[in-house]
Amino acid sequence: MKTSHQKDLRIGRHSQHNQIYHITFATINRTPTFSDFLKARILINILKKTDQLQHVKTLAFVIMPDHIHWLMQLTGSQSLSSIVKTVKSQATIQIGQPIWQAGYYDHAIRKEEDIQRVARYIIANPIRAGLVTKVGDYPHWDAIWF
């Protein structure tokens, strides 16, 4: 059942070619599905495949145990919601179980925002969560600048 908050997240949502977005989506009940190394790698491979198909250009991501942060640029003709839906469904199929909470959060990066600062924020999530003391100790992240 969708809550009114989830509906509100869609208000004003649109996809713009070449726009950079910070996307976040979470697992059902914040279950730490991606504490499993192989499941996290499956999701990473799906993100890479999305890049290879030239739907997006991934700038940075981190796979946390119960959610993902993804900084990406729309490069293909597919909508943002279509890309997220495809990534979520592919992960569900390949992992073999329902994974995702309905919906996602997106933030279109404005021209005046420092994209590298946003990327640093994303990849520092494991430190803020207390999972590691250095970014390099966490296995499930990447960024084009670091």
Output the six-digit token pair for 130.
């207390």
Structural contact between residues 109 and 101, judged by C-beta atoms closer than 8 angstroms: no
Region 63-84: what's the mean pLDDT? 96
Residue 137 — very low, low, confident or very high, per pLDDT cuts 50/70/90? very high
pLDDT over 90 percentage in the chain: 82
pTM: 0.89
Q: Is the pLDDT confidence value at 60 over 80?
A: yes
- Domains of the chain plus CATH, in order, are 4-133 (3.30.70.1290)
Residues 86, 120: Cα–Cα separation, whole Å: 26
Residues 125, 18: Cα–Cα separation, whole Å: 25
**H helix intervals, 53-123:** 80-95, 115-123
Per residue in 81-117, pLDDT (tens digit) is 999 999 999 999 999 999 999 999 999 999 888 999 9
Per residue in 7-23, pLDDT (tens digit) is 444 444 578 889 999 99
